[in-house]
């Protein structure tokens, strides 16, 4: 089946909208490219948090309370690990652990991350394609007053407490998009590209840092629409607002538009931010107002339908401002 909708996703917010998109468009026509800058090795295991969150969400087996991890998971491994003095700051449930063990074994046998992920989507009956941004290693590193911190050390172990000074995507210059993703972006069959309301700096920028992805999206011929991850000057989830403030960026939907300027044709913002509509429009970016807070499964589906409709209204061939989008390096 030809892919007509491509979403860029990372974290729980991205997975929520991706879930909605599987109900807003034929799921077999949807592909989701996922941030792997968060991937890391833990106790010798290759852990892919954002990939797993999306896999579990689209398979309907995610933890509905946390948004990450497996539903009804057990914690025997973590309890035993704590008993013998092991580090427990990054928690893996028993079911979650099984996936990470199998992934690690499979990758060490020579299988690519994209092939393993595709096999899991098939096993769990997921009709949409889930594609890691690259099969090469790219790691998000946060420069802080404590020095450089790997993403999971910063995000989970230290709970985002250190002050962020800059963000790097180590290995990105040597990476390449997964071949399947490259084919989708250049096939000329896309009806829309959707940037989910994920953290622009920690979830979407790693994807765009892979050489060739940003340019291919600009040239794909389909409208590129983003959903703002901030409402009324605060982030919907996670440390987006904190990081923006620490980097000297005012947390607002306008700042999100400026960040993506040169890439997106339209930005969906919350009705509470209607007063920013003219500022964003002056950047050459179309604006649509909606309730973008996803409190329920129904909200996710409604928002996804609104995004798809917005992209359809913009149509193909929209001229984007030629200024490059702001980058955090």
Domain ranges of the chain: 5-40+127-314
3-state secondary structure of 62: strand
Query: For residues 321 and 214, what is the distance between their CA atoms, to the nearest angstrom?
Result: 14
Query: For residues 77 and 152, what is the distance between their CA atoms, to the nearest angstrom?
Result: 20
Query: For residues 28 and 1, what is the distance between their CA atoms, to the nearest angstrom?
Result: 6
Query: How many Cα neighbours within 13 Å face the side chain of 123?
Result: 10
On whether the CB atoms of residues 307 and 17 are closer than 8 A, the answer is: yes
The whole-angstrom distance between residue 58's C-alpha and the CA centroid of its chain comes to: 14
pLDDT by residue for the chain (329 residues), tens only, comes to: 899 999 999 999 999 999 999 999 999 999 999 999 999 999 999 999 999 999 999 999 999 998 899 999 999 999 999 999 999 999 999 999 999 999 999 999 999 999 999 999 999 999 999 999 999 999 999 999 999 999 999 999 999 999 999 999 999 999 999 999 999 999 999 999 999 999 999 999 999 999 999 999 999 999 999 999 999 998 887 899 999 999 999 999 999 999 999 999 999 999 999 999 999 999 999 999 999 999 999 999 999 999 999 999 998 544 444 444 444 33
On whether the CB atoms of residues 224 and 267 are closer than 8 A, the answer is: no
Q: Which CATH architecture has domain 5-40+127-314?
A: 3-Layer(aba) Sandwich (3.40)
Show Cβ contacts of residue 98 under 8 Å, excluding neighbours closer than 6 positions. none
């Amino acid at each position: 089946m030809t892919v007509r909708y491509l979403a860029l996703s990372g974290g729980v917010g991205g997975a929520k909208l991706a879930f909605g998109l599987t109900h807003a468009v034929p799921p077999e026509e949807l592909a989701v490219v996922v941030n792997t800058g968060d991937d890391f090795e833990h106790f010798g295991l290759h852990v892919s948090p954002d990939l797993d969150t999306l896999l579990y969400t689209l398979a309907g087996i995610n933890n509905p309370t946390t948004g990450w991890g497996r539903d009804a998971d057990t914690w025997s491994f973590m309890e035993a690990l704590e008993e013998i003095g092991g580090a427990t700051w990054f928690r893996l449930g028993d079911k979650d652990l099984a996936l990470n063990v199998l992934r690690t074994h499979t990758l060490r046998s020579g299988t690519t991350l994209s092939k393993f992920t595709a096999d899991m989507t098939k096993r769990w009956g997921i009709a949409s394609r889930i594609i890691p941004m690259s099969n090469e290693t790219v790691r998000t590193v946060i420069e802080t007053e404590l020095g450089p911190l790997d993403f999971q050390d910063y995000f989970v172990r230290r709970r985002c407490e250190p002050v962020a000074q800059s963000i790097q995507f180590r290995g990105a210059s040597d990476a390449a998009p997964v071949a399947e993703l490259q084919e989708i972006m250049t096939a000329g069959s896309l009806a829309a590209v959707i940037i989910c309301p994920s953290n622009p700096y920690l979830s979407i920028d790693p994807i765009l840092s892979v050489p060739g992805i940003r340019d291919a999206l600009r040239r794909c011929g389909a409208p590129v629409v983003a959903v703002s991850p901030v409402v009324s000057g605060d982030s919907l989830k996670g440390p987006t607002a904190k990081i923006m403030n620490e980097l000297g960026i005012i947390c607002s939907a306008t700042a999100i538009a400026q960040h993506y300027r040169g890439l997106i044709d339209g930005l969906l913002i919350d009705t509470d931010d209607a007063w920013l509509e003219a500022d964003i429009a002056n950047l050459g970016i179309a604006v649509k107002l909606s309730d973008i807070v996803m409190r329920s499964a129904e909200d996710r589906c409604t928002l996804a339908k609104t995004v798809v409709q917005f992209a359809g209204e913009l149509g193909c061939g929209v001229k984007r401002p030629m200024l490059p989008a702001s980058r955090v390096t």
